[in-house]
Amino acid sequence: MIDAVWWSYSLALSAFFFSLPFSRYMHIPTEILYIILKNAGIKSTVSRDGYAESEIYSCSSCGLCIDACPMCSASNKERFTSVYFVRALRNRSNFAEEYARECLMCGKCMEACPVGIDSIKLRELKKEESMSYGKYDNDYLSNAKYSNTPLDAPELIYYAGCMTHLTPGIYKSIINILEKASVNYTFLDKDGSICCGRPLIISGGREKAKKLIERNREIIEGTGAKVLLLSCPICYRIFKEEYALSGIKIMHHSEYIAKLADENRIRLKKGDFSVTYHDPCDLGRGCKVYEEPRKLLAKSANLNFYKESGPMSHCCGGSLASDRFSFEERGKVAKNALLSIEAGKADVVATSCPLCLKTLSVWHDKRVADISQIVNEQMI
């Protein structure tokens, strides 16, 4: 009898191990390998190298990423969510590229993923493999200059970036704040920017983005400034992740203005109005800046608190990462973001990103402002 039990047990166990590579339980051993490689700092360079393979097979198909996705609930489409995208990669499906492009790259699903699968990186790599540049030409970059390049090294250079040039209220407020704090600064791209390169990278154009990055780096390092100040979280993230600037501290304006306030270089009076804060994806989830904007707002107004803040905050829907969604679908994402921060209960919705500002302003009937604008108005 004992022999029969032993043999049944051994056969069942062998059958389990033999069928493991073909079953959904393959994620159990793969996950261990993936976590070891990830902690060793390894990164993928193509969507199916050894590391990416361990990542793809670590997905347990739990589906938590579906519930987290703001575009999934807005568009009623699930096919592009991380679980299906990763499955398409695993099965070498022709749909993988389309799923990679059908995503706002907001990163909320990655926060929800218990395995920590970097689906954004996998999507970037998948897009790179099929990127067609058409008539793209960046030869002009070798002679490109900034008209406002400083002659003497300033304390700080301000790079507004393309999106901030489309929301002039932000850069005008920043300039006022810098003047008020007597900062020795130069507004480097006052007359227009060479793009930071991130829109190209998230579209799959890393190779072409390298030239933009190189040219910007040469110019910025050549100024001798100690601080590079940025207003756009999209720029901020790529400068931090890809530029490796030597001897220059990279700061988002929420961090720099909070520092000026801490050092009493600017003083703020608390206004008699309430404000709720929307975390931009690239500043919050992307760069982990959550505290400084809230510190500034608490000094300038009555800051409201709500449940889904920080890492699980909603995307505004304005992301540059996909051209596959309609205006209405993006609008639903924006409205859900406004609901999640209880925008109706506050006099002002604050954010710290020019793209979020533009997007949320379309869908909210009360004031939406950047923190730099609020601080500028509350300075004494």
Which of 179, 68, 50 shows the shortest CA–CA distance to 114? Answer: 68
* Residue from the set 38, 101, 108, 215 that interacts with ligand SF4 by CB under 6 A: 108
313 binding ligand SF4? (CB under 6 A): no
Sequence-distant (6+) residues with CB within 8 A of 197 are 209, 210, 212, 213, 216, 238, 242
Structure-token pair, residue 335: 């409205």
Task: Give the residue with the Cβ less far from ligand SF4, 83 or 369.
Answer: 83
Q: CB 111 → ligand SF4: shortest distance, Å?
A: 9
Q: CB 97 → ligand SF4: shortest distance, Å?
A: 15
C-alpha 141: how far from chain center:
26
Structure-token pair, residue 298: 């608490």
Stretch of residues binding ligand SF4 (CB under 6 A), selected from 79-87, 199-207, 347-355, 365-373: 79-87
- The residue behind tokens 């919705």 is 349
Footprint of ligand SF4 on residues 84-103 (CB under 6 A)?
A: 86, 103
* Residue from the set 52, 56, 83, 297 that interacts with ligand SF4 by CB under 6 A: 83
Which of 248, 249, 257, 306 shows the shortest CA–CA distance to 277? Answer: 306
* Residue from the set 34, 38, 55, 59 that interacts with ligand SF4 by CB under 6 A: 59
Stretch of residues binding ligand SF4 (CB under 6 A), selected from 68-76, 159-167, 174-182, 302-310: 68-76
* Residue from the set 56, 113, 220, 341 that interacts with ligand SF4 by CB under 6 A: 113
82 binding ligand SF4? (CB under 6 A): yes
- The residue behind tokens 């890393």 is 206
Task: Give the residue with the Cβ less far from ligand SF4, 62 or 362.
Answer: 62
How far is it, in rounded angstroms, from Cα 304 to Cα 270?
14
* Residue from the set 8, 45, 61, 326 that interacts with ligand SF4 by CB under 6 A: 61
* Residue from the set 69, 250, 355, 360 that interacts with ligand SF4 by CB under 6 A: 69
Q: CB 83 → ligand SF4: shortest distance, Å?
A: 4
Considering only the C-alpha atoms of the chain, give the largest distance between any 2 of them, rounded to a whole number of Å.
91
109 binding ligand SF4? (CB under 6 A): yes
107 binding ligand SF4? (CB under 6 A): yes
334 binding ligand SF4? (CB under 6 A): no
Interface residues toward ligand SF4, by CB under 6 A: 59-65, 68-69, 71-72, 81-83, 86, 103-109, 112-113, 115, 117
